[in-house]
A and B are shown apart, each in its own frame.
Chain A
Amino acid sequence: MKILLIEDEPELARSIDSFFSKEHVLCEAVQTFEEAFEKVNLYQYDCIVVDITLPDGSGLDIIRQLKEIRSEAGIIIISAKNSMDDKITGLEIGADDYLTKPFHLPELNARVKSIIRRRQFNGDKIIQFDQIRIVPETGEVSVNHKPLVLTRKEYELLVFFIANNNRLLTKEAIAEHLWGDEMDQADSFDFIYTHIKNLRKKIQDKGGQDFIQTVYGMGYKFSGQ
């Protein structure tokens, strides 16, 4: 998998790169509009993560160029400007998703994976993790071929966990993924605990193993044995 990261802040680019390297994703990072423009015209990427405000141009123009050359890469905008306008324009001209800085890296990871999955027209769009099988198009989940009935939040939680398997997810990152950033309430954390407890129980009821580890004081980690 190959990602082009267009981000003018080198430290942020390095962090994202470093995060993706664990996912066995090849992440190419460029810092200017010019470099990015050259890259998108020369190479093929699975996903392009683009910052809108670049020192020498607008990320929106790169998206327009990608559409012009009929690139099939998924596009995620990352922008510090929490601007509705940019978001709408970006999505209108063909971006797949929009993420506001500062974001949690697992969130970006989950979104990149979701986009790449949706773009695999030929391959299967099924998420398979150990005994768990998810069909995102229909929302069906099964463990050991036994159907699993999950609430909407439990489903979202599970997909988020699998996208970030073997990674520590903080309660804050989970809360933001499930409810967006206006849910900055201490209550939402025990709420997450309830959801995780239920999810764990449902999987185990179907004979699945306990994939969710609690990392004391920090969060949760989803991993196969």
Chain B
Amino acid sequence: MRPFKYSTTNDINVAVKMLQVKGHAKLLGGGTNILDLMKEDVEHPEELIDITGLSYTQIKSISSGPNAEGISIGALCKNTDTANDPIIRQNFPLVAQAILAGASAQIRNMATNGGNLNQRTRCSYFYDIAMPCNKREPGAGCAAIEGINKMHAIFGWSKDCVAVHPSDLCVALVALDAIVKVMGAGGKERLIQFSDYHRLPGTDPQKDNNLQQEEIITEIQLPKNNFASKSYYLKVRDRSSYAFALVSVAAAIEMAGNQIKQVRIAMGGVSHKPWRAYEAEQFLINKTPDEANFNLAAELEMRNAKPLKHNKFKVELGIRTMVRALTQAMNGGKHT
């Protein structure tokens, strides 16, 4: 690992200022991704600013504003504490399930929620500094597009990058229309819709998200919803635990009588950003929640997939995973 300066601060404005003036500084939260990347020489910051001393660790109800009755999750709250918060488990079980589907107990004990949003892709060519990668070194080319791309994108990729976002939590957050609150220069805060937070690669895949260099995530807000009794996060992977998703689906349903009133579907492991399945959602509104409709909705969504050489299986797997996740959500979201 290359030498770097380690510093700490308990003041967010100081941290923002440091990012502003030090172009080669990075933030340290749980460290579960940045340290790994530094060992591999993919990231080589000249300074790490440890922000775990900042106060954004709370999970609390929002009392006023557009998201009143929703919940605010601190960016520095650990994944484990978030998944086991009684309100999250009771009212946002999709979030708890998605967190628990990711990584291992050890990593969830270390990792922060803000860090989860900002973790980098696990594309093996991004990690291997002997290979060209536009995300790591803009203009170098993409080794994955003609390489072993089984784990890569089927939606929204460009000729410059076919990497996928690795998070499970983010799939649940995009499904539930979360909002990311960030602190910028001069104490200026702004809110970013979750679906606008991460980006598609386009011609500048080095940018994973729309955060400015000096901005720091402080909270993730979840608006109130009526999905808690019918939601499910299903993750399909090469082994049954401690692996990244081939395909994952977050599904949440609200019923009116025997018809679907509202439905949210998002997919992981398929795109550079957590992928909202808007076409499938639209199809299911006012339909009965049966397998035939779930299948039609899933096929409609996956019709737009553009698989690569080694991941054609993700199209059929995506359909089946979506149907299963919706079925499990209808059955009360229990793990079977």
Do A and B originate from a single complex? Answer: no
Which B residues form the contact surface with A (CB < 8 A)?
none
Which A residues form the contact surface with B (CB < 8 A)?
none
